[in-house]
Amino acid sequence: MNAITHSEPEHLQAAGWSAGDQDTINAVLRRAVSAYGDRIFLDFLGEQYSFRDIDRHACQVANGLRALGVSKGQTVVTILDNCAEAIIVLFAITKLGAVSVPVNTAYKGEFLRHQVADSGAAVVIAQSDYAERVAAIASGIPAVSTVVYRGATPDLGAAAERQWQVIEWPALYSDDTSDPAVDIAPSDLAMLIYTGGTTGPSKGCMVNHNYTCNLGRQMLEVSGRDHTSVTWTPLPMFHFNAVGATLMSNLMVGAKVALYTRFSVSNFWPEIERTGANEVMLLASMFPLLVQAADNDAMQRCHGQIVNVIGAPFPPDIQAQWKARFGVKRTIISGFGLTECAMVTVQPLDVPAAPGSSGMRHADFDVRIVDEHDVEVPVGSPGEIIVRPSKPNVMFDGYWQRPADTLKLLRNQWFHTGDIGRFDEQGYFYFVDRKKDYLRRRGENISSFEVEAAFRQRPEIEDIAAHAVRSDLGEDELKVTIVLRAGHSLEAEPLFLWSVDHLPYFAVPRYIEFRREVPRSPVGRILKYQLRDEGVTAATWDQEQAGIKISKR
């Protein structure tokens, strides 16, 4: 079995790192402050923070949280747009040995209530408008006792204000700038990252400190990032990728992070010019959008400035266009991984890439391709991807408060990804398809179960299937196929507008189709693969053709 041999980059070796080390987020931050001090670590829209600044702010917020009763092992929910505070509060929470629960800012209603309630958090830290969404579900989150808001004073309503202690973000800062110095082990829980549920509500992946650090080390192997790197990204801080593969990596080598609010085609090149970025971290749909955009002066001035463009999927033809048009030196598909285990395959700099592949096995993981009986299939044959770690604390510790769900995916002592892939004779890995019914749309995992549950609130709907159809941008578009109850009628456009108010923006379906029935298996399961293959039919209503636009709120 071919695999990438794990060897630490020279710049990590020089910092005293060796393969197999176990680490914590807190220790990485302390070393960064000691080594790089007053160098700039973070640029957010022109606001700049040194390594020492970030640490000082994090200590003040940590001591403020401790005054609210937050202690080791307790969960803290954050619902924040990309901003410096999102980074500061992450480090503040981990300094206390508490558990950060970053929630997708698009969530509302039951999506939001489930995750806040399931985490058991007493403290929620949110942008003002998101705090209002939390107030709307106050009766369903009884564990919450304190809400900290950032921005203008929110309208929480009298009932929520009576139920909670409400604090403005600046008041969270303590005058005490000392490090809480809580004893933290590499195996201690650092984050709960909720994944999109497919056969039930979304589950919290338990992510420990060393796993977070290990993803950072892997990104350094893939990218060659060092102290001269300036990494620009619009990826949201509620994604594990942004925390592990950007923040932690850059802390380790003294590199700069240029964080942007959210992706914008028109602002991309002006931001690259302003920040001096020589590396960008993007999502799949962003690559073709930027290649297809018109020239502008900033793009021309920045030609050849970017060394690395990192993301996946990143089709070979789009990679070639980036190099030819923008003068990019390296286009990098980092590898294959899930929130539960990342990255299990990688494409390091010193190994030639195979077109369409996602690298080779990483030595931190044993990766196999198996049939429905967990028997390994021949090389070249597709099958389910199963994974187990080769060293401690490099993947998730299970699903929060869901031991049965954890055990279900750990059959025969292997984590079953539910995804389909294959390896070739040279050991290159190729992702084939998703075995389970989750969707991925423009960088967001979508729970078909939760989308369907939202639509089932409508009394007119008898049956529904939320499923993928192929997108020209390289991932999925979302379609709902609906069967109406006898004697009821619905029009697609009004139903679409209703869904905008009841779903996160990324889970609002582009396509709606009404049918008399949906295809089912002999045991009654909806055949979503058949609906996906049928795609957009003559009877399908299309949001884009209807000319309707929605905002990312």
Tell me how far apart the alpha carbons of residues 393 and 409 are, in angstroms, rounded to a whole number.
18
Asked if residues 369 and 389 have their Cβ atoms less than 8 Å apart, the reply is: no
Tell me how far apart the alpha carbons of residues 542 and 277 are, in angstroms, rounded to a whole number.
38
From the number of C-beta atoms within 10 Å of its C-beta (0-12, 13-18, 19+), residue 128 rates as middle
Which residues make beta-bridge pairs with 387? 367, 415
Question: Identity (one letter) of the amino acid at 344?
Answer: V
**Beta-carbon count within 10 A of 85 CB:** 21
H helices within 164-302, ranges in order?
Answer: 209-223, 240-242, 249-253, 265-275, 286-292, 297-301
CATH 3.30.300.30 region(s) of the chain?
Answer: 439-546
Secondary structure (3-state) at 54: helix
Task: Note the pLDDT tens digit of each residue in 236-285.
Answer: 999 999 999 999 999 999 999 999 999 999 999 999 999 999 999 998 88
| Alpha-carbon distances, residue 511 vs 157, 158, 275, 535 (angstroms) | 36, 39, 39, 10
Tell me how far apart the alpha carbons of residues 502 and 111 are, in angstroms, rounded to a whole number.
9
Domain 439-546 has CATH 3.30.300.30: yes
CATH 3.40.50.980 region(s) of the chain?
Answer: 25-184
Question: Identity (one letter) of the amino acid at 482?
Answer: I
Query: Phi/psi of residue 368, each to 5°?
Result: -130, 160
- The confidence score (pLDDT) of residue 552 equals 73
CATH 3.40.50.12780 region(s) of the chain?
Answer: 209-238+251-436
Planar angle of CA 357, 386, 363, nearest 5 degrees: 65
Planar angle of CA 75, 410, 242, nearest 5 degrees: 45
- The confidence score (pLDDT) of residue 13 equals 58
Asked if residues 293 and 312 have their Cβ atoms less than 8 Å apart, the reply is: no
- The confidence score (pLDDT) of residue 229 equals 98
DSSP structure string for 418-454: EEEEEE-TT-BEEEEEESSS-EEETTEEE-HHHHHHH
Planar angle of CA 497, 498, 500, nearest 5 degrees: 65
Which has the closest alpha carbon to 108: 450, 401, 402, 399? Answer: 450
Planar angle of CA 303, 305, 309, nearest 5 degrees: 100
For 110, the token pair is: 């039951």
Determine the angle formed by the axes of helices 448-455 and 109-119, rounding to 10 degrees: 130
* Interior/surface letters 244-255, b for 16+ CB within 10 angstroms, e for the rest: bbbbbbbbbbbb
The alpha carbon dihedral of 367, 373, 376, 382 has a sign of negative
Which residues make beta-bridge pairs with 545? none
Tell me how far apart the alpha carbons of residues 485 and 474 are, in angstroms, rounded to a whole number.
35
> In CATH, what is the architecture of 209-238+251-436?
3-Layer(aba) Sandwich (3.40)
Secondary structure (3-state) at 125: strand
The alpha carbon dihedral of 508, 106, 213, 7 has a sign of positive
CATH of 25-184, one of 3.20.130.10, 3.40.50.980, 1.20.1090.10, 3.40.50.10880: 3.40.50.980
388's CB contacts (< 8 A; 6+ apart) are 365, 366, 413, 414, 415
**Residue ranges in the chain whose pLDDT is less than 70:** 1-20, 196-200, 433-434, 436-438, 445, 474, 521-524, 553
C-alpha count within 13 angstroms, C-beta hemisphere, residue 370: 18
